[in-house]
Amino acid sequence: MSTSATMPPSGDTGGDAPHHPPTPPRRILLIDADAFFVAVARQEDPEGAGKATLLIVGGRPGSRGVVCSASYECRAYGVRSAMPISRALKLCPQATCVPVPRHVCGQRSREIQAVLAQFAPVIQPSSIDEWYCDLGGTEALYGHEPLEMTAHRMREAVFAATGLRVSIGGGSSRLVAKMAVEMAKPKPGTGATGVCCVPPGSEEEFLRGFRLGDLPMVGPRFAARLERMGLETVEQAQRWPEEALVHRLGERAGRWLARRIRGRDESVVVPRDRQKQVSRETTFGRNLHDDDVVERELLRLAVRVSTDLRRQALRARTVTVKLRDADFRTRSAQRTLSTYIESERSVVRAAQPLLRQMRASRRAPVRLLGIALSHFEDEGDPLPAVQLGLFSGAGDPARAPEDPRETPRDRALVQALDRIRGRFGADAIVPARLVDSSRDTGPRVEE
C-alpha cells in the first residue's frame, strides 16, 4: 500500500478523520484427534487392543475389510488406511486387528467438541475427528497470550476430559492451520509436541518446507502438471510471479495457486449445528426421460448425501426420495429401515425401490430429484421389530424390498473414501457409472 493511502498529504493534519486500527490477524486452529479410531478402540478394550502396540482398526483377521486406521507403529511397516486387512497383515503379521467401535467414536467426537466449546466461540467440525476453531476476538480474554499457549491448554483440557490426545495446528488461515497440524502430530522420532502455531507474517516461510502435492486440493493430476513446469515444491512456485502462474495455468488456477503458496486463504470457520435431516437435491438443466439416467442421478445424490451424513458422525434409518415432474408436480416416498445406514451403497439400495415405484405410478419427465436422510442413531428410540412397507398402505409388507445391511467393510471403505475426497476434492473418486455423464442432464443446480 502506498504512503499516500495511509497518511495525509504534507501540511494536512487530516482534520477529524477517524483512525481505524489495523485489523488483527485471524486466530484459526485445527484440532485433529491423534489416531482417533485406534485410541478409542484401546479405550474400549484395554485388555486386548489397549495392550497392542501394533494395532489395526477396521476388521478381524481373515475378513474382507479394509484398514480404517492403524497405530503409528503399524504405519512404520507400510500399513495405510483403505488397505485390505489381508495385505496389511502380510506387511505386519504380528498386528492385532479389531473392528471399528463406531458408536463410541461418535460419542467421543461429541465429547471433544464440548471441551473445545469452552475455549472457542466458533467451532466447525470437519470430520468425526477434526474441528476448526476461530478464536478471533478472544485475545483479551486469554490475557493476550500467544496462540500456541492457548492451544496447549486446549490440548490438556481435552485429554483431562476424554483421555484422548489431539494435535493442534494454528495460524492466520484455515490453510496454514491445516498444514501446521501435520507438523504438530507427535509421531515417533519427530520430536513434535502436539502443537504447531505459525506466527502472523511467517506463513510464506513456513510453507517453503512443503511439496506442492501436500497442499489441500492439489491432486495428483494438478501436481503432475506443475511438475512438468518444473515446480515440485512450494518454494519453487513462490519464485514465480503471480502473473506468470496465471499465464501458464489460466486465470482461475493461477490466482488460486499464487494465494495458496503464500498462505492466503479467505475461507471462514462456520459453525454447523447437528441437523434433524441431511438432504441433497438437484434441478436438471433439461428434463430427464430415461429411467437409467434418472437412476444414475440418484446414485450421484446418494454419494453426496451419505458423505454429508458421515461428516456429522451420523447414521440414519429413514430415507426419503423426492421427485418434481416437468409439470411441477412434486411427489415423495419414504422408507424407514430396521437398521441404521451410512454408506452410499446402502442409501442407493434403500432409495432405488422408492424411485422405481414413483416412476411406475406416473410416467413423467423429471425436473428435480432429491434424497433426504433422517431419524438418526443418537435420537434414542428403539429399532422397529418389523420391516415397514415402502408406502403407507402399500399392500403386503412381506413384498417390500429387503433392508440394506452394512458390514464393517462397507463402513471402513466409505471412511477411507471420505479421507481421499477430503484431500483431493469431492470428485476425486466416484462410481464409474457417474464418470462423464453431464451430457445427459445438462447443467445441474444442486441444493
Cβ partners under 8 Å of residue 47, min gap 6: none
Which triple of cell numbers denotes residue 167?
494435535
Is 130 a catalytic site residue? yes
Q: Are 409 and 311 in contact (CB under 8 A)?
A: no
The full 3-state SS of the chain, as one line of letters, equals CCHHHCCCCCCCCCCCCCCCCCCCCCCEEEEEECCHHHHHHHHHCCCCHHHCCCEEECCCCCCCCECCEECHHHHCCCCCCCCEHHHHHHHCCCCEEECCCHHHHHHHHHHHHHHHCCCCCEEEEEECCEEEEECCCCCCCCCCCCHHHHHHHHHHHHHHHHCCCEEEEEECCHHHHHHHHHHHCCCCCCCCCCEEECCCCCHHHHHCCCEHHHCCCCCHHHHHHHHHCCCCEHHHHHCCCHHHHHHHHCHHHHHHHHHHCCCCCCCCCCCCCCCCEEEEEEEEEEEECCHHHHHHHHHHHHHHHHHHHHHCCCCEEEEEEEEEECCCCEEEEEEEEEEEECCHHHHHHHHHHHHHHHHHHCCCCEEEEEEEEEEEHHHCCCCCCCCCCCCCCCCCHHHCCCCCCCCHHHHHHHHHHHHHHHHHCCCCCCCHHHCCCHHHCCCEEEC
Q: What is the dihedral of CA 298, 301, 303, 309, to 10 degrees?
A: -130
> Which candidate, 22, 20, 271, 236, places its Cα nearest to that of 122?
271
CA dist., res. 447 & res. 439, Å (int): 20
Which triple of cell numbers denotes residue 99?
473392528
Catalytic hit among 44, 47, 111, 130: 130
Q: Which residues are catalytic?
A: 130
